[in-house]
Structure 1
Amino acid sequence: MRLIPIDAVKDGAFLAQPLYNDKGQILLAKGTKISNKFRDKIKEAGFYTVYILDEYSTEEIEDIIKPEIRRKTIHSVTTVLNNISDFNNNEKSSPSKKKLETNINSGLDQIEELVKSIVDDVFTQKNVMINLVDIKNNDSYTYYHSVNVGILALVLGIGMNMNKMDLYDLVMGSLLHDVGKMFIPKEILNKKGKLSPEEFNIMKEHTVRGFNYLKDHTDLNGKVRLIALQHQEKVDGTGYPYNLKGEQIFPLSRIASIADVYDALTSDRPYRNGLHPNEAVEYIMGSGGRYFDIEMVKTFVRKVVPYPIGTIVKLSNHSVGIVEDINQEYILRPVIKIMKQNDMMVSPFLCDLKREHNIVIEGVVYNL
């Protein structure tokens, strides 16, 4: 199973994971054989990258949470955020606005129960690592992204030996970190090109507006609210809304910030394809101490697999091969099944980069 741009998928490959539309319904089922017809359908639905099974990658990778729990969480977050958007658009003191507020708080209770279930389950997996990038289309981006940030933040929090109570708050706050975007005009949120300075200033308001909504209309605690407020702050003081530096930023907000950027980088957007995990990891590493807490970055890069099993990579010795296994203590140096040398196919053999110190991965390729 490997992550590959849809335009690079050859006929005869099979979908390794189902694709969902913006309503959470299956658009194409796992196991669908990809042809030109389905390739066009996938692109029309707003997907630019898919997981496939083919002759190069037959092993599936499991999500760290149960698929049904992920689906329930996405549905609950989607419902709550849409209700908050409707709440914002209703006239003050209208009966429908009061009903929406009741529904929102009921939905938040459901999300809290799901958060406890997720944390309790994953907390026992001390060596848990992120192997998957969640595939999302443009219409469902905000909701899937919110859940992904929660899961990524949880894995980082566990790696930092946080206790369960803080993990509950971390995941809840991360799931709701973009709640303020429900108060931003959709034409700005969904703009395909670069935002103008005026539009970006409006976009930046989402942190304060989200914090104020959670403070004024929910019983969620201050830790959860601070994540919504501070997740765009950077440790060098160049973030927003208050240009906070270093330890002025709440620790849970610093964790959510890393998770937020990683998932955004690896997500397909209307104006660009998502980065491969290794490129996103390199960006996070390069931003440690500047944008992100350096100690948190060190933990994060030990928890995210930059070259998942099934990835085809080019090596510095002119070999090309498939990632066969992960060295957990040296995640940038996996075990590679060499398939090609100097542009010639060879009998496959294993190359363990943990032992081959003079060989490095130069990049990801999509076909041999």
Structure 2
Amino acid sequence: MIIWKNIELVEPGEIVGEDVYDPSGFIILIKEGSVLKEGDIYLLKNRGVSILPIYVEEVLTSEDIEPTIDMELYDNLSKDLSNTFEEVKSGELNVKKVVKHSEEIMKKVLEKYNEKILNLIRKDQKPLARHAINTGVISSIIGISLGFDDETLNKLIISAILHDVAHEKPVRDIIEYYDTHPIKATGMLRKHFNMNDDVLLSILHHHERFDGKGYPRNLKGTSIPVFARILSIADAYDTLISKDFPGKAFSPYEAVKFIISNSGKMFDPNIVSKFVQYVGIYPTGTVVELSNGERGIVVKVLSGLIPLVKANGKLLDIVKEKIYIKKVIN
């Protein structure tokens, strides 16, 4: 498609979408399809051209796909959890309300689990609440894949909701495992949970690493509580794809690659396997170029790791269509 850009915002390398004429006559200054160079932009400015027709490929985004948590529920959860985090800082916590929110997330994920669609809100006005909700969604998907019953799932999601309660602001902390917030959060919550409770232990240890190089106790392998091993993957994935945390956000595809490449180092390989079996190598929202030249977006995972792709308004089972993903468009 063509968008009209102020010439001051045009950059070298962009493609001209239509012939551009001299404003004072009918002379073509630059032809449709030309790749702009710095000299071209300088010339066009001098000839009085103020806006340019620039060709951009229409890129589908994951906003085209229904989110895993519908917006009405998401908005209610976000508002309530923001209040909950403020309560915790003042020493209070309505545990019953947190349990209710956990059950709401669990119910929604269970309803949609077999669809194999993980489409998360990646930016909003309450980033810490958003991260808590998303981490709860991912953790519950992994927990279901591991065969957890409802009671165990509920505890896992509560852990996810509260794991970053000690953070004052959004932090892209996936690499900085030595931040002290797990200890601070445990201290803030210990009067509301037994110290040996699965919830507190998972929050305390969610920055341990599978190779024993994590924080705060350098626990290794399966000595790390299973909730914490799940939480570390869920926390990492959402932190990486977040658009409201400082630093460059990863695409869902890049985030999955990061988690796979750190399997056995940061993350439990068995749990990584369960996560990847659900989201696929090409997660929901990944923009791809197909072998037939079309560009599309991954909607969900079909059998195995094969994705269902939406291209030009059609849903494509790429195996049946005998096409393949040529490359990922970041």
Note if contact 2:135-2:238 (Cα within 8 Å) is conserved in structure 1. yes
Shift of 1:176: 0.2
Q: Distance in 1 between matches of 2:248 and 2:114?
A: 30
Residues 156, 144 of structure 1: CA spacing in aligned structure 2 closer, same or farther, 3 A cutoff?
Answer: same
Question: Match of 1:364?
Answer: 329
Assess if the C-alpha contact under 8 Å between 1:129 and 1:155 holds in 2: no
Partner amino acid, structure 1, of 2:130: Y
Is this contact kept in 2: 1:204–1:241, CA < 8 A? no
Helix, strand or coil at the partner of 2:123: coil
Kindly provide the CA deviation profile for residues 315-338 of structure 1, in whole angstroms up to 9, marking residues without a partner as x. Answer: 4x5834213764422435444648
Once residues 336 and 72 of structure 1 are traced to their aligned partners in structure 2, the CA distance between those partners, rounded to angstroms, is 30
Change (3 A) 1:362 1:242: same
Distance 1:354 1:245 in 2: 44
Closer, same or farther: CA 257–128 of 1 in aligned 2, 3 Å = farther
2:230 matches 1:255: yes
Query: Which residue is equivalent to 2:75?
Result: 71
Matches within 5 A, 1:79-228: 79-85=83-89, 87=90, 101=91, 104-106=92-94, 108-137=95-124, 140-182=126-168, 189=169, 204-218=179-193, 222-228=197-203
- The one-letter code matched in structure 1 to 2:73 is I
Q: Give the AA of the match of 2:232.
A: S
Quickly say closer, same or farther: Cα 1:322–1:171, change in 2 above 3 A: same
Give the direction of change, closer, same or farther, for the CA distance of 1:361–1:170 in structure 2 (3 Å limit). Answer: farther
SS of equivalent residue, structure 2 residue 81:
helix
Query: Alpha-carbon deviations, 1:169-189, whole Å to 9, x = none?
Result: 00001000012325xxxxxx5
Tell me, what secondary structure is at the counterpart of 2:288? strand
Percentage of matched positions with identical amino acids: 26
The amino acid of 2:262's aligned partner reads: S
Instruction: Name the aligned partner's letter for residue 93 of structure 2.
Output: N
The answer to whether the 8 Å contact 1:237/1:243 transfers is yes
**Is the 8 Å Cα contact of residues 133 and 266 (structure 1) preserved in structure 2?**
no
Q: What TM-score, normalized by structure 2, do the two folds share?
A: 0.70
By how many angstroms is 1:129 displaced?
2.5
> In the alignment, is the contact (CA less than 8 A) between 2:61 and 2:285 conserved in 1?
yes
2: CA distance, partners of 1:219 / 1:75: 27
CA distance, structure 1, for counterparts of residue 104 and residue 287 of structure 2 = 35
Determine the C-alpha separation between the residues in 1 that align with 2:322 and 2:327.
Answer: 14
3-state SS of 1:81 partner: helix
Deviation at 1:131, TM superposition (A): 3.0
1:272 and 1:63 map into 2 onto residues whose CA distance is 24
Aligned to 1:273: 248
Is 1:331 the equivalent of 2:319? no
Whether the aligned pair in 2 keeps the contact of 1:233 and 1:249 (CA below 8 Å) is yes
Q: Distance in 2 between matches of 1:59 and 1:273?
A: 19
Tell me the distance in 2 between the aligned counterparts of 1:177 and 1:154: 14
> Does the aligned pair in 2 maintain the 1:232–1:240 contact within 8 Å?
yes
Corresponding letter in the other structure for 1:232: H
1:142 to partner: Cα distance = 1.6
Letter in 1 for 2:99: E
Equivalent residue number for residue 212 of structure 2: 237
**When the two structures are aligned, how many residues end up with a matched partner?**
272
Distance 1:321 1:253 in 2: 38
- Quick one: which amino acid aligns to residue 134 of structure 1? I
Look up the equivalent residue of 2:110 and give its one-letter code: F
Provide the C-alpha distance between the structure 2 equivalents of 1:109 and 1:349, rounded to a whole number of angstroms: 42
Gaps of 5+ in 1: 1-6, 8-53, 88-100, 183-188, 195-199, 340-347
| Residue 283 of structure 1, CA deviation | 1.0
Q: CA-atom RMSD, angstroms?
A: 3.5
Alpha-carbon distance, 1:157 to partner? 0.7
Structure showing greater radius of gyration is 2
Displacement of 1:209 after TM fit?
1.6
Provide the residue aligned with 1:44 in structure 2: none
Deviations 1:96-134 (A, max 9, x none): xxxxx4xx333x321211212332343354414343131
Unaligned runs of 5+ in 2: 1-8, 10-57
Tell whether the 8 Å contact from 1:254 to 1:293 is kept in structure 2 after alignment. yes
> Which residue in the other structure is 2:271 paired with?
296
Residue by residue over 1:118-164, the C-alpha shift from the partner in whole angstroms, topping out at 9 and shown as x without a partner, is 32343354414343131324x62222111110111011111111111
Residues 116 and 300, structure 2, Cα contact 8 Å, conserved in 1: no
Query: 1: CA distance between counterparts of 2:123 and 2:83?
Result: 17
Counterpart of 2:4? Answer: none
- The aligned amino acid for 2:210 is V
SS at match of 1:127: helix
